Amino acid sequence: MLGQTPATEIQLPSTAFEGESNRPAQSYWNESWERLRANRIGMAAGVLILILGAIALAAPLFSQFLTHYQYDRIDLLSTFQTPGHPHLLGTDDLGRDTLTRLIYGGRVTLGIAFLTVALSLTLGTTVGLVTGYYGGWIDDILMRFVDMVLSIPAIFLFILMSILFHPTPITLAMIIASVGWGGVARLVRGEVLSVKQREFMVATKSVGARDVRLIVRHLLPNVLPVLIVAASLGVGQIILIEAALDFLGLGIQPPTASWGNMLTNSESYFFHSVWLVIFPGVTIFVTVLASNLFGNAVRDAFDPRLKTH
Amino acid sequence: MAESLLEVRDLHTVFATKHGEVKAVDGVSFEINPGETLGIVGESGSGKSVTAMSVMRLQRPGKIVSGKVMFRGRDLTKVSETEMREIRGQEIAMIFQDPMTSLNPVFRTGWQVAEPVRLHHGWDKARAMSVAVSMLGKVGIPSPAARARDYPHQFSGGMRQRAMIAMGLTTTPKVLIADEPTTALDVTIQAQILDLLRHVNRDFGTATILITHNLGVVAGMCERVIVMYAGRVVESGPTVDVFAHPKHPYTWSLLRSIPRLDAERHEPLKPIDGLPPDLIELPPGCAFHPRCQFKVDRCTRDVPALKLVGETQLAACWVTQSGVEL
């Protein structure tokens, strides 16, 4: 009706620029990855976590070919063996092999840590995106709920839920995540509030995008850096929380091994079997330290708010 | 007379604030025909942008309280959100003021330029991408195939604005709304972008609404102009007439506040005294009267309506409507 020419048939005048540039497109992700790789300590910490994870995954192999013990095999004739032969890291009060239990405990502890991070990120991100984007009553209700959850001492909630639900690794992850998602939701919501003010959101809406697309395709990638940082810093924290619950006897119950429940009662053996404190303790310490170092490195590399250019 | 392509009739958009209702757009009417270029001028806060956003129904948190936006037989203030999405980007496209922030930093530019055709025509990635690349080339991006793979931060301000224009044009919209498209750019780039918009208008037949506070831009680009003050249209008409014989004291003052080549060398520029009015509580009568040198008693009492003061020129001023020359 308007006699328009199809867009593809028209040549508009162009302005001369200097010749073609050959520099490759540097995406935000490439740049961040380069920055992360340049951080030696952070990379070493990351690699260490990967190795620990791999060992935990391969636990049955280790028990078969290295230690030759099952993690739950009780041997009352060889309790409190000192590290050496045949028990590389000694045995506990029931004669169970410490190294085998540490390796199997890694499965539980690391598994719970990653599952918890995944759960709280998923829930927290969804809530943060929705509340931040829509605002209004949905924001009021959900965020006041978050405020409420976060203002009850977390340890109290953990103890309560551990009593109500039998803590298996999966329920324990859900218990920790049920408190942890609140912090993520707040973080994401704050980020969304700032990103949604940026003009490209209106610009995208002005080309006819629907809300779901705006949120998932445009908002989410912009809050992803913050999420990556939160995830990598969260792992260490969750290992500590889980270890504390196990230590108190509220988490994973023996004979299932976890780094935390290996420490239960070990304080009574501190003087005559110090390795029962040292090995799980050092493992937790090193893992948490590595998670935090890696988390900090990730933050330095990915957090857009720390970027200098 | 044939029906206009886009006709805004008595549009009112308000923003609810703690202190009261801000009447950002207070009874604006205008129309635009195919292939025409219309300028909307006014100072900051005069309601130009809100008018444009209201046309696109993107005025949130503002609310359109009354008025019509007729586009090809439909009232855009009434159609469903789904229909509105079909119109946005396909029939009416918009370019924003700040090209630095109007592209999503995490996606490659080509992907974003291709977004409208993917949304509206459902084209696959490859086909949409080829249109995006050819469009980037048309708006003057050198080696567009390579640059389409670049991220926005690798583009200069001028190139980003070209990319935005390319994005707007991929679906050959009937109306292009450019909201201060050159304000954030430096002068040489401004000229290039305006030149590009002029070609778009001529070659694609796209009706263009150019929102600006720069009178020079309007003079060079637009056939018709409407002048806004405090959310109302105070004067409208062919650009030549409005600039040569302004019929509203506000337009007259605006024109005297900018330098002209044909004016006496040492004549000082005359700023407009006073401040724009509070949009929550507009002064009674003509909103401009507290700053007007020509006001008469009636200006402080009754709101003047837009009336014909020349052949096609309209002004909302009691003084000029009674035949007085400024």
Complete domains list, chain A, with CATH? 39-306 (1.10.3720.10)
Residue B233 counted as domain residue: no
- The domain that holds B71 is classified in CATH as 3.40.50.300
Indicate the DSSP class of residue A214. Answer: I
Buried b (16+ CB within 10 A) or exposed e, A75-106: eeeeeebeeeeebebbbbeebbbbbbbbbbbb
Over the stretch B252-310, which tens digit does the pLDDT of each residue have?
998 888 887 776 667 778 888 888 888 888 888 899 999 998 889 899 999 999 999 88
| Interface list for A 176-205 with B (CB within 8 A) | 198-200, 202-205
- The confidence band for B314, taking pLDDT boundaries of 50, 70 and 90, is very high
Residue carrying structure tokens 């302005």: A15
Share of chain B above pLDDT 70, in %: 98
Tokens of A244: 């504390």
Looking at the fold, whether B93 and B185 belong to one and the same domain comes out as: yes
Per-residue model confidence (pLDDT) at position A26: 64
d(Cα B291, Cα B300) in Å, to the nearest integer? Answer: 11
Distance (Å) from the alpha carbon of A255 to chain B's nearest alpha carbon? 49
Looking at the fold, whether B321 and B180 belong to one and the same domain comes out as: no
Per-residue model confidence (pLDDT) at position A74: 79
Q: What is the pTM of this model?
A: 0.80
Over the stretch B6-60, which tens digit does the pLDDT of each residue have?
999 999 999 998 888 899 999 999 999 998 999 999 888 899 999 999 999 998 8
Residue B118 counted as domain residue: yes
Per-residue model confidence (pLDDT) at position B182: 85
* Inter-chain touch B172–A6, beta carbons under 8 Å: yes
Contact A207, B119 (CB under 8 A): yes
Can you give the pLDDT of all 309 residues of chain A as single tens digits? 344 445 555 555 554 444 444 555 567 778 888 888 888 999 999 999 999 999 989 888 887 887 777 787 777 777 777 777 777 777 877 778 888 888 998 889 999 999 999 999 999 999 999 999 998 899 999 999 999 988 989 888 888 888 888 888 898 999 999 988 999 999 999 999 998 888 889 899 998 888 899 999 899 988 888 888 888 888 889 999 988 888 888 888 888 888 888 888 777 787 878 888 888 889 999 999 999 999 889 888 887 666 544
Q: Residue B218 contacts by C-beta under 8 Å, 6 or more apart in sequence?
A: B39, B41, B210, B212, B225, B239
> What would you report as the CA-atom Rg of chain B, rounded to the nearest whole angstrom?
21
SS3 A178: helix
d(Cα B111, Cα B294) in Å, to the nearest integer? Answer: 55
Tokens of A194: 């700032």
Per-residue model confidence (pLDDT) at position A23: 55
Distance (Å) from the alpha carbon of B245 to chain A's nearest alpha carbon? 33
Per the structure, the complete domain to which residue B290 belongs is given by 247-326
Looking at the fold, whether B51 and B196 belong to one and the same domain comes out as: yes
Residue B318 counted as domain residue: yes
CB of A6 within 8 Å of a chain B CB? The answer is yes
Per-residue model confidence (pLDDT) at position B227: 95
Give the best residue of B102, B123, B134, B165 to mutate against chain A (max A CB count within 10 A).
Answer: B102
Per-residue model confidence (pLDDT) at position A20: 45
Total domains in chain B come to 2
**Chain B positions in Cβ-Cβ contact with residue A8 (cut-off 8 Å):** 131, 134
**Chain A positions in Cβ-Cβ contact with residue B140 (cut-off 8 Å):** 12-15
Residue carrying structure tokens 């490209």: A200
Domain boundary among B168, B189, B222: B222
Contact A55, A111 (CB under 8 A): no
Q: Residue A38 contacts by C-beta under 8 Å, 6 or more apart in sequence?
A: none
More confident residue, B184 or A115: A115
Share of chain B above pLDDT 90, in %: 43
Residue B241 counted as domain residue: no
Q: Residue B95 contacts by C-beta under 8 Å, 6 or more apart in sequence?
A: B102, B161, B164, B165, B168, B176, B177, B178, B179, B181
Residue B187 counted as domain residue: yes
Per-residue model confidence (pLDDT) at position B14: 93
Give the best residue of B6, B55, B115 to mutate against chain A (max A CB count within 10 A).
Answer: B115
Residue B267 counted as domain residue: yes
Phi and psi torsions of B30, nearest 5°: -165, 165
Tokens of A289: 């330290």
Looking at the fold, whether B147 and B295 belong to one and the same domain comes out as: no
> What would you report as the CA-atom Rg of chain A, rounded to the nearest whole angstrom?
26
Residue B229 counted as domain residue: no
Residue B285 counted as domain residue: yes
Size of interface A-B (CB pairs under 8 A): 129
CA–CA distances in Å: residue B293 to residues A115, A169, B226, B273, B290? 73, 80, 21, 10, 9
Q: Residue A105 contacts by C-beta under 8 Å, 6 or more apart in sequence?
A: A71, A257, A258, A259, A261, A262, A280, A283
Buried b (16+ CB within 10 A) or exposed e, B65-74: eebbbbbeee
Looking at the fold, whether B209 and B269 belong to one and the same domain comes out as: no
Per-residue model confidence (pLDDT) at position A12: 59
Residue carrying structure tokens 């005559």: A272
* Inter-chain touch A205–B93, beta carbons under 8 Å: no
Looking at the fold, whether B140 and B52 belong to one and the same domain comes out as: yes
Give the best residue of B106, B153, B204 to mutate against chain A (max A CB count within 10 A).
Answer: B106
Distance (Å) from the alpha carbon of B307 to chain A's nearest alpha carbon? 30
Which of B108, B105, B107, B106 minimizes the C-alpha distance to B148? B108
Looking at the fold, whether B206 and B102 belong to one and the same domain comes out as: yes
